């Protein structure tokens, strides 16, 4: 199907672009979400006369998405699933599952707005991206566990690990500074030695100048 985009769509085009997409994608998502128009003669004429308003509406949507992104910042979803002793899920967690959980949390979205690197098939914490707008992504945490209690333990464990990693980094930085300290002290010592030599030379020059004979010219009486 040929459509006219009413806003920027990732990997598809910019506002006003005429592009070809699969019929299902257009009918089930782009057209119902008012992200595009079917590219008919009437639609072309409408877009031409209403472009300024359409661009203003697109800007308003982007600003609304940015506000929503601030509200969603730090969102953590707990997905309770059955799993074996090894942590392997009996099933998986997909983008659709995450979209439903986000919507239940009070932020209605479509599964096409969710980005994950791969289908989640084991327990643990994962990062997912929600595209509230083509230019407004937000990162959320997906905590997959066998129970709410296990989810809390997983979150606490990751926090402790992160703090320990930060502590190790700080220790490494301090050790690096200490390792560099002798070299810095050596450079400082050399600088002081050079300065001292310069002072000695200056003192010697001053002494020579003060001990030099002074010629006195007698005035004729």
CA 98 to chain centre: 20
Q: Which tens digit of pLDDT belongs to each residue from 128-163?
A: 999 998 889 999 999 999 999 999 999 998 766 545
Residue 68 lies in a domain: yes
Where helices occur in the chain by DSSP H, the ranges are 23-25, 41-72, 95-104, 148-211
Tell me, what's the pLDDT at 130?
A: 96
CATH number at residue 86: 3.10.430.100
Share of the chain above pLDDT 70, in %: 71
CATH number at residue 52: 3.40.5.10
Whether 133 and 109 share a structural domain? yes
Task: Choose one of 15, 49, 72: the last residue of a domain.
Answer: 72
The C-alpha atoms of residue 68 and residue 85 are separated, in whole angstroms, by: 38
Residue 99 lies in a domain: yes
Whether 90 and 55 share a structural domain? no
Is residue 88 within 8 A of residue 117, CB to CB? The reply is no
Task: Please tell me what DSSP assigns to residue 218.
Answer: P
Tell me, what's the pLDDT at 35?
A: 92
Instruction: Between 79 and 178, name the one with better pLDDT.
Output: 79
Q: What is the tally of structural domains in the chain?
A: 2
Q: For residue 220, what are the CA distances in angstroms to 67, 121, 165, 217?
A: 98, 114, 91, 9
pTM tops 0.75 = no
Tell me, what's the pLDDT at 212?
A: 44
**pLDDT for 183 beyond 60:** no
Q: Which tens digit of pLDDT belongs to each residue from 7-19?
A: 998 889 999 999 9
The tokens describing 76, both together, are 């953590």
């Amino acid at each position: 199907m040929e459509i006219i985009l009413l806003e920027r769509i990732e990997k598809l085009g910019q506002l006003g672009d005429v592009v070809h997409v699969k019929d299902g994608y257009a009918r089930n998502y782009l057209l119902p979400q008012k992200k595009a128009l079917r590219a008919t003669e009437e639609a072309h004429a409408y877009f031409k006369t209403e472009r300024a308003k359409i661009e203003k509406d697109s800007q308003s949507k982007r600003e609304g998405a940015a506000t929503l992104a601030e509200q969603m910042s730090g969102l953590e979803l707990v997905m309770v699933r059955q799993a074996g002793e090894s942590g392997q899920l009996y099933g998986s967690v997909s983008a659709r599952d995450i979209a439903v959980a986000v919507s239940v949390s009070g932020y209605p979205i479509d599964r096409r707005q969710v980005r994950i690197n791969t289908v989640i098939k084991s327990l643990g914490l994962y990062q997912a991206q929600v595209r509230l707008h083509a230019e407004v992504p937000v990162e959320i945490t997906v905590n997959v566990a066998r129970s709410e209690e296990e989810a809390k333990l997983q979150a606490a464990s990751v926090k402790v690990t992160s703090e320990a990693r930060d502590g190790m980094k700080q220790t490494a930085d301090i050790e690096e500074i200490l390792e560099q300290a002798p070299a810095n002290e050596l450079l400082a010592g050399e600088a002081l030695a050079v300065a001292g030599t310069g002072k000695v030379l200056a003192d010697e020059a001053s002494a020579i100048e003060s001990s030099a004979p002074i010629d006195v010219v007698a005035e004729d009486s």
